[in-house]
Amino acid sequence: MRSLVEDGCKAASIHGNKSQGQRDRAIKQFRAEITVLVATDVCRARH
């Protein structure tokens, strides 16, 4: 997502590591001003 913003896109992200409040804000911004919403649920295994 960082590269999208650096390239001038109005982008926000939501994922499992963000609080519900952060996710709600990103969705509100997407409805109002953000043009790209990146949504992931990435699981990482530790060895």
Rounded distance, CA 41 to CA 31, Å?
21
Determine, yes or no, domain membership for 47.
no
Determine, yes or no, domain membership for 46.
no
Give per-residue pLDDT as tens, 1-47: 789 999 999 999 888 888 889 989 999 999 999 999 998 876 555 55
Tokens of 37: 């919403």
Per-residue H/E/C for 1-44: CHHHHHCCCCEEEEECCCCHHHHHHHHHHHHHCCCEEEEECCCC
Q: What is the pTM of this model?
A: 0.68
Number of domains in the chain: 1
7 lies in which domain range?
2-40
Determine, yes or no, domain membership for 15.
yes
| DSSP-based three-state secondary structure for 45 | coil
Determine, yes or no, domain membership for 16.
yes
Determine, yes or no, domain membership for 6.
yes
Determine, yes or no, domain membership for 19.
yes
